[in-house]
Structure 1
Amino acid sequence: MNAPQTAWTLQDLKSALEQSASFSDGEITCTVSPDQPDVLEVQLHSAGEITLYMNVGETQILTSTVLWPRDAQDDPAAFEAMMLRNHKKLLPLCALSIDDVDGREYYELFGAMSVRSTLDSVETELRTIANSALELAADVGPKAAA
């Protein structure tokens, strides 16, 4: 399943990740979201129990993780200006957004890739977003998130 292929489905991607030799036993848990059956929740136990959310669309796979509430950031405007100026070097393969979660704004890290990406590329995306989220929280996140 590493060669370029037909488009992934959510179930095929779940199975491939669970069976991947790239992850050690117990390193990853994949669950189809009970609230959103088109979302795969991927928990990386080796990355601080971080949960990534994957959605397989017609042309792309979107992967994201929720960081922290915008109002928890010491100076949201200064943080956002700094991120716009330094995004390329701080967040490889990722983008930062502000999204509403249950009526509260949160920073969210996300990446998108082709629905025909190899399994190796999908695994790299997962690890990159997880590592970037942890580093971002430690380096510039609110004191409570560090």
Structure 2
Amino acid sequence: MALSLSELHALLAEQEELTATLEGDTLLLTNEEGVDAFLTVQGEQVLVESLLCKVADITDTAAFNDQILRTHKTMFPLTTLGISAVGTEEFYVAFGALSASSKPESVLVEVETLFLNIEGMLEFFAAFIRA
């Protein structure tokens, strides 16, 4: 049976280190450091993602993309990087996806890992991001 957004909201709202707010068809998650992530259930998939930085804020896009492709699989497990448009701006995003039939514990691991990896990514890739 697939997890629903309301079930995931109840599960994640119980976590002391997170604030979980249901906003329409999206669950806004904020960790203790103030980093936001957005969780949705889309068909048979649970997707959780966070904006890392604007594409325009990267000093050398080709070198940054090369660095991502060479390192993120081994350095930042369970988290993938991509580019998404928000309005008229493009952002690098970190995201994880899993089946909506996953165990609730697996969703917790995915969310916790995403937040940990975001911290590491921002530190590791800092040389490419304009302040």
Do they fold alike, i.e. is TM over 0.5? yes
Find runs of 4+ consecutive structure 1 residues off by over 4 angstroms. Answer: none
TM-score by length of 1: 0.82
Aligned to 1:61: 46
- What value does the CA root-mean-square deviation take over the aligned residues? 1.3
How far apart, in 2, do the equivalents of 1:140 and 1:73 lie?
Answer: 10
Stretches of structure 1 lacking an aligned partner (at least 5 in a row): 1-5
**Whole-Å Cα distance in 1 between the matches of residues 25 and 107 of structure 2?**
17
Aligned to 1:30: 20
Q: Which of 8, 13, 35 in structure 2 is aligned with 1:13?
A: 8
Tell me which residue corresponds to 1:3: none
Give the share of equivalent positions with the same residue, in percent: 29
1:101 and 2:86 equivalent?
Answer: yes
**TM-score with structure 2 setting the length:** 0.91
Q: What is the CA–CA distance in structure 1 between the aligned matches of 2:18 and 2:9, rounded to whole Å?
A: 11
Paired amino acid for 1:41? L
- Paired with 2:130 and 2:57, the residues of 1 have a C-alpha distance of 9
1:57: Cα distance to partner? 2.0
Residue range with higher mean Cα deviation, 82-91 or 124-133: 82-91
How far off is 1:133 after superposition? 0.9
What residue in structure 2 maps to residue 114 of structure 1? 99
